[in-house]
């Protein structure tokens, strides 16, 4: 047997997935976001430059195309959206767009973590207003609580300041780490010299405790402009009745973030507890080739994690019901062509129908009709064929009646 690639999934029932995507699209369009599609194949350089060569995603998790390592399967869509903004010469800002689709990262698979997974990626490119960050966060909160009916999740936020704030903070942090060098793990010792902010993503309990309780906090090292913006963001969220927790160790894995960063987490997800993450980025558009920076804010929602959360509450959701199906049964092979014509006629009128053509015993065709959950069995034998009629059996009540074939559409539409 040929098995699927490790870390990928077959979705055999996509009712919930479609529900998530439809609800999300509807809600984003209400907020005046337009849907775009960007390629799954992108130049490897795009992610090296934007996410940063020292990030886990670029260093260890990229799927490079064999034979042409300059092309890769995208690991995320923010950099692609920034590239599309520049390459298509978009002039009108803020550019409010979203896209959804598969992303690829060579990670160690576990519950909620896959090598091919799906994200909805939302971006507002060309906006300096910190109020826009509050609006994006409020939009996401509304999507999760109202459109998807989640009730047990939390919003974590932090403020990373501007480039200068972060550079000054890194000096402070390095001093702290050097003072505690014997208490931190080997990986953090390496990160101290390569990508220092990532020490805050350490999974080691001892290190986490040290950073949470004793490490300097970036929100205490903000310049006056950033400090005012951080205050404004918190006030706006309070005004919009969005509950949040400030988490000073939240830095997010990718290099391009600055100022606002946030994550939505749920206790129902296990170790991979974040189902949405985002923040503000200013240099990305320039990094991918524009002459000027575009201040921007965005977020990515992990669809598989939403699915895990929705699975538990799906009985409460207004999921669309599949249309009632009619089973057309030719009693003998000679009635198969007319049965197929009847099915075609019903489908033409928007009535779902399936002809039972696999078997030639009436009993087994009736069983099959039952198995597919047919509303009616529409039986055509030699007598019915001669009289241009059909026997219609209601599969719930067992009631049977004969109808002219020309009356079927009207009867089933009732
Ligand atoms: P990121 O692009 O890393 O900021 O991730 C944004 C969101 O995508 C996370 O909060 C997760 O919900 C989801 N995500 C990231 N990586 C994976 C993965 N390997 N498998 C499933 N979901 C993921």
Q: Are 279 and 251 in contact (CB under 8 A)?
A: no
Average of per-residue pLDDT values in the chain? 94
Q: Which residue has the tokens 């009436």?
A: 362
Contacts of 389-398 with C-beta under 8 Å, sequence gap 24+, read: 390/342, 395/327, 395/369, 395/370
Record the tokens describing residue 172, joined without a space.
């402070």
Q: Are 74 and 103 in contact (CB under 8 A)?
A: yes
pLDDT band at 270 (very low <50, low <70, confident <90, very high): confident
The lowest-confidence range among 197-201, 267-271, 321-325 is 267-271
Record the tokens describing residue 332, joined without a space.
């003998």
Q: Which atom of ligand 1 is nearest to the CA of 300?
A: 6
Q: How far apart are CA 128 and CA 319, in angstroms?
A: 39
Rounded distance from Cα 60 to ligand 1 centre (Å): 15
Rounded distance from Cα 304 to ligand 1 centre (Å): 9
Residue 387, pLDDT score: 97
Which range among 102-116, 183-197, 308-322 has the greatest average pLDDT?
102-116
Q: Please give the share of the chain, as a percent, with pLDDT higher than 70.
A: 100
Q: Is the CB of 119 under 6 A from ligand 1?
A: yes
Which residues of the chain form CATH 3.40.50.800?
A: 325-413
- b vs e for 157-195, b when ≥16 Cβ sit within 10 Å of the residue's Cβ? bbbbbeeebbeebeeebeebbeeeeeebeeebeebbeeb
Q: How far apart are CA 365 and CA 347, in angstroms?
A: 20
Residue 354, pLDDT score: 97
pLDDT at 347 over 90: yes
Return the CATH fold of 325-413: Rossmann fold (3.40.50)
Strands (E), 33-167: 34-35, 41-43, 63-65, 68-73, 95-104, 116-125, 154-159
Q: pTM for the complete prediction?
A: 0.92
Residue 359, pLDDT score: 75
Q: How far apart are CA 177 and CA 276, in angstroms?
A: 30
Q: Are 338 and 385 in contact (CB under 8 A)?
A: yes
Q: 22-42: per-residue pLDDT in tens?
A: 999 999 999 999 999 999 999
pLDDT at 253 over 80: no
Which residues of the chain form CATH 3.30.930.10?
A: 15-162+223-316
pLDDT band at 257 (very low <50, low <70, confident <90, very high): confident
Give one DSSP letter per residue of 178-192, joined into a string.
HHTTTTS-HHHHHHH
Q: Mean per-residue pLDDT for 128-156?
A: 96
CATH architecture classification, 15-162+223-316: 2-Layer Sandwich (3.30)
pLDDT band at 269 (very low <50, low <70, confident <90, very high): confident
Q: Mean per-residue pLDDT for 163-177?
A: 94
Q: Are 339 and 314 in contact (CB under 8 A)?
A: no
Rounded distance from Cα 303 to ligand 1 centre (Å): 9
The lowest-confidence range among 138-152, 174-188, 249-263 is 249-263
pLDDT band at 114 (very low <50, low <70, confident <90, very high): very high
Best of 119, 143, 269 for a ligand 1 pocket test (most atoms within 8 Å of beta carbon): 119
Residue 226, pLDDT score: 97
């Amino acid at each position: 047997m040929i098995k699927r690639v490790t870390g990928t999934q077959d979705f055999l029932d996509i009712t919930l997935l479609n529900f998530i995507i439809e609800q999300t699209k509807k809600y984003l369009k209400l907020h005046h976001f337009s849907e775009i599609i960007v390629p799954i194949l992108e130049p490897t350089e795009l992610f090296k430059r934007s996410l940063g060569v020292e990030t886990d995603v670029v260093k260890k998790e990229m799927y490079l195309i064999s034979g042409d390592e300059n092309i890769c399967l995208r690991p995320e869509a923010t950099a692609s959206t920034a590239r599309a903004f520049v390459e298509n010469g978009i002039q009108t800002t803020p550019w409010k767009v979203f896209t959804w689709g598969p992303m690829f990262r060579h990670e160690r698979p576990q519950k909620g973590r896959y090598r091919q997974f799906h994200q909805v990626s939302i971006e507002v490119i060309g906006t300096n207003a910190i109020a826009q960050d509050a609006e994006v966060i409020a939009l996401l909160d509304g999507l999760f609580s109202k459109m998807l009916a989640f009730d047990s999740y939390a919003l974590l936020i932090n403020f990373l300041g501007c480039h200068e704030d972060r550079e000054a903070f890194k000096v402070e942090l390095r001093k702290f780490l050097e003072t505690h060098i014997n208490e931190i793990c080997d990986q953090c010792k390496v990160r101290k010299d390569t990508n220092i902010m990532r020490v805050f993503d350490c999974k080691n309990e001892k290190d986490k405790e040290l950073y949470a309780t004793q490490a300097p906090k970036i929100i205490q090292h903000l310049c006056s402009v950033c400090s005012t913006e951080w205050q404004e963001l918190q006030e706006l969220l309070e005004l919009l009745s969005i509950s949040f927790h400030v988490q000073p160790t939240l830095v997010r894995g990718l290099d391009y973030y600055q100022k606002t960063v946030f994550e939505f987490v749920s206790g129902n997800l296990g170790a991979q507890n974040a189902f949405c993450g985002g923040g503000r980025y200013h240099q990305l558009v320039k990094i991918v080739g524009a002459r000027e920076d575009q201040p921007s804010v965005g977020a990515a929602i992990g669809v598989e994690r939403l699915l895990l959360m929705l699975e538990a509450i799906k009985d409460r959701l207004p999921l669309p019901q599949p249309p009632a199906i009619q089973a057309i049964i030719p009693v003998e092979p000679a009635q198969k062509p007319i049965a197929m014509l009847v099915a075609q006629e019903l489908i033409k009128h928007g009535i779902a129908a399936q002809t039972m053509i696999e078997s030639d015993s009436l009993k087994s065709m009736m069983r099959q009709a039952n198995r597919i959950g047919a509303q009616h069995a529409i039986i055509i034998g030699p007598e019915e064929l001669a009289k241009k009629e059909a026997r219609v059996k209601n599969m719930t009540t067992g009631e049977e009646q004969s109808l002219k074939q020309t009356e079927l559409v009207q009867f089933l539409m009732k």
